[in-house]
Amino acid sequence: KKTSQMEEHEKSVEDDSPKHLIMLGFCEELPEGESFLTFPHKVGGHPVWLIPQGFPAPTDILCGRCDKPLSLLVQLYAPLPHVNPNAFHRMIYVFSCTSGYCVQHHPTRSYRVFRAQLPKENPYYKENPLPEEDESDDGNDYSRKVDAKACVVCGFYGKSKCSACSRVHYCSKEHQSKDWAFHKAECSHFKELAEGTCVSHLLRPRPYTKEDKNPFFNEYEIVTEESDKHTQANPDLEAKSSEESDDDSESIEEVVDHNRIVEENKAIIEKYKQSTKKYAGEQMTTNDFQINQIVKDKFLQNFQAITEVHPDQILRYYEDNTIEPIWMHARQIPRPEKITPCPACGGERVCEFQLLPQLLYYLKVENFDSPLDWATLVIYTCKNSCDIGENYVTEFLWQQQADNTPAEVDEA
C-alpha cells in the first residue's frame, strides 16, 4: 500500500487538491548568464551528477550497436522522501544513442537509465537550503560541497586530471588535448584557488563543433507545471466499433433530457441551417466518410486530445504510479511481464514518467545524419526506490516506435 494514502488522512482539511498529480514538463532555454540549479531538470548537454563519484565512465556507457558513448537525453530531480527517507535527493538520468538507426533497430542496447539517491544528511550537500538572498532566488537551493570528477569534454567519469591546476578532470588523453585550447586561459587562475573549492561554475563554456563524432543533444532546462486533468486513459481496443464508439466515455450524470440538449445547441445549428438544408433527407454514416485508416486511429486521436491542451509538453510525470501512460498507437505496448524487476531489491517497477515526441522537435533531430524517431519513451523505476547506497543503479526504459505504417487505402 502506498504511504501517500496514509498521507491523505494526515493532510490539513483545507487542502482539497488531488493528492496525485500529473506534472507536465516543458523545454525552456537557459537565459544568458544563468547557470543550472544544483539539482536541475535538464535536457541534453552534460549530466549533472548527484553523487560525485561512482558515476559511469565513457567505457561503461557505450551503445550496444555502434560502440559510441551514449548522450544525456533527459535528467530529472524527483525526490521521494515519503517512499524512502534515503531518497530525499533523487535523480533519474536517461541516456540515449544519437543515431536513429541504433535506436530503431536495437532499442535495448541504445538506452540506459540510471537512478541515484541520497538521504537528507549526506557528505556532499549542505543539509539545509540556502537562506533567501534575493528576489529571484526562492531560497531552496542546497549548495554543493564537492565537485564531481567529471571529464570536462564528455561529462563522464574522468580518472585523470590536469597536472598543472589539478582542478579539471579528463577521461582520456584525447579529451585532454582537445580541451587544452579552452583550458589554457583558466588553468593559471585555478591553480591559485584554495583546496577543495568547486570550480564547476567557473569553467568557461566550451562550444562543441559539428566535427565531433558524438554530438550532444541541444541543452534546455525543463520547467514543470501541473496538468489540469489528473487522470488519463487509453482507448479500449476490445470495444465494439459502433458508430459512436470512437468518442468520449459516458457517465450517468451526463445523461440528460434529449430536448434540453438540442435546445442548448440550437443557436449553432441555426448558423449552419443554410448549408445543411441542401442535404436534408440524405442518409450519412460514419463509415462512409472515413476515407482512410488514419481517421479510425483511436490511440492517436486520444493522444492528440490529451496533449493538445499544452501542445509543447515534452514530459509527463506521474506521481500516481498505477496510472497507465498514454500511447500513440496500439502496437508495442508492453505486457507487465516484460518490465523487468528491480535488480537491487527484486521489487516491481512502476511507470514514473514518459517522454513525448515533442521533445524530438526541440532537439532538432532532423539535422542529424540519422535522425531519431520514436513515439514515446516510458521510464519504469523501482516502486520502493530501494536503498542502493551511493551507486548509480540501472532502471528500465520502454520505447514505443513511431508508427510509419502507410495508410490503408480502401479498395475501390
Partner 1 sequence: QHQMATQGADSGERKFGRGDRRGGRGGRRGGRGNKEEGGWVPTTKLGRLVKDGKVKFLENIYLHSLSIKEPQIVDFFIPSLKDEVMSIMPVQKQTRAGQRTRFKAFVVIGDQDGHVGLGVKCSKEVATAIRGAINNAKLTLIPVRRGYWGNKLGKPHTVPAKVNGKAGSVRVRLIPAPRGSGIVAAPAAKKLLSFAGIEDVYTRTRGATATLGNFAKATFHAISKTYGYLTPDLWKEYVLQPTVYQDNALYLAAKEEKKEEY
Cβ proximity to partner 1: between 17 and 163 the closer is: 17
Residue 380 within binding range of partner 1, rule CB under 8 A: no
331: number of Cβ within 10 Å: 12
Residue 405 within binding range of partner 1, rule CB under 8 A: yes
Q: What are phi and psi of 9, to 5 degrees?
A: -70, -30
Q: Pick out residues in 336-375 that bind partner 1 (CB under 8 A).
A: 353, 356-358, 360-362, 364-366, 371, 373
Beta carbon of residue 241, minimum distance to partner 1 (angstroms, whole number): 13
Q: Pick out residues in 36-75 that bind partner 1 (CB under 8 A).
A: 37, 41
Binding residue for partner 1 (CB under 8 A) from 76, 171, 379, 393? Answer: 76
Residue 249 within binding range of partner 1, rule CB under 8 A: no
Residue 215 within binding range of partner 1, rule CB under 8 A: no
**C-alpha to C-alpha distance for 157 and 153, rounded to whole angstroms:** 11
DSSP strands (E only) in 59-101 = 71-77, 89-96
The C-alpha cell that represents 31 in the structure block? 537565459
Binding residue for partner 1 (CB under 8 A) from 14, 32, 238, 250? Answer: 250
Q: Is 122 left (phi over 0), alpha (psi -120 to 50) or beta?
A: beta
Beta carbon of residue 373, minimum distance to partner 1 (angstroms, whole number): 5
Q: Of the listed pieces 1-9, 101-109, 167-175, 197-205, which binds partner 1 according to CB under 8 A?
A: 1-9
Residue 211 within binding range of partner 1, rule CB under 8 A: no
Binding residue for partner 1 (CB under 8 A) from 166, 177, 265, 340? Answer: 265
**C-alpha to C-alpha distance for 166 and 183, rounded to whole angstroms:** 12
Residue 263 within binding range of partner 1, rule CB under 8 A: no
Cβ proximity to partner 1: between 3 and 53 the closer is: 3
Beta carbon of residue 371, minimum distance to partner 1 (angstroms, whole number): 7
The closest alpha carbon to 351, from 11, 122, 92, 35, belongs to 92
Cβ proximity to partner 1: between 179 and 319 the closer is: 319
Binding residue for partner 1 (CB under 8 A) from 261, 331, 338, 347? Answer: 261
Strands 111-118 and 42-43: unpaired
**C-alpha to C-alpha distance for 244 and 331, rounded to whole angstroms:** 23
**C-alpha to C-alpha distance for 326 and 99, rounded to whole angstroms:** 25
Torsion on CA atoms 85, 142, 33, 222, rounded to nearest 10: 10
Beta carbon of residue 118, minimum distance to partner 1 (angstroms, whole number): 13
Cβ proximity to partner 1: between 115 and 178 the closer is: 115
Q: Pick out residues in 116-135 that bind partner 1 (CB under 8 A).
A: 120, 129, 135
Q: Of the listed pieces 143-151, 194-202, 206-214, 293-301, which binds partner 1 according to CB under 8 A?
A: 293-301
Enumerate residues 6+ apart whose C-beta is below 8 A from 74.
42, 43, 93, 94, 222, 315, 355, 359
Residue 180 within binding range of partner 1, rule CB under 8 A: no
Binding residue for partner 1 (CB under 8 A) from 197, 231, 304, 340? Answer: 304
Q: What are phi and psi of 403, to 5 degrees?
A: -90, 95
Residue 13 within binding range of partner 1, rule CB under 8 A: no
Strands 169-170 and 160-161: antiparallel
Cβ proximity to partner 1: between 186 and 246 the closer is: 246
Binding residue for partner 1 (CB under 8 A) from 35, 59, 85, 231? Answer: 85
Binding residue for partner 1 (CB under 8 A) from 54, 79, 215, 341? Answer: 79
The closest alpha carbon to 154, from 269, 56, 243, belongs to 56
Residue 255 within binding range of partner 1, rule CB under 8 A: yes
Say if residues 201 and 87 touch (Cβ distance below 8 Å): no
Radius of gyration of the chain (CA): 26
Burial label, 391 (beta-carbon count in 10 A; 0-12, 13-18, 19+): middle
Residue 319 within binding range of partner 1, rule CB under 8 A: yes
Say if residues 76 and 172 touch (Cβ distance below 8 Å): no
Chain centroid offset of residue 46 CA: 16
Beta carbon of residue 378, minimum distance to partner 1 (angstroms, whole number): 15
Binding residue for partner 1 (CB under 8 A) from 1, 210, 213, 240? Answer: 1
**Structural element, H or E, at residue 25:** strand 22-28
Cβ proximity to partner 1: between 177 and 290 the closer is: 290
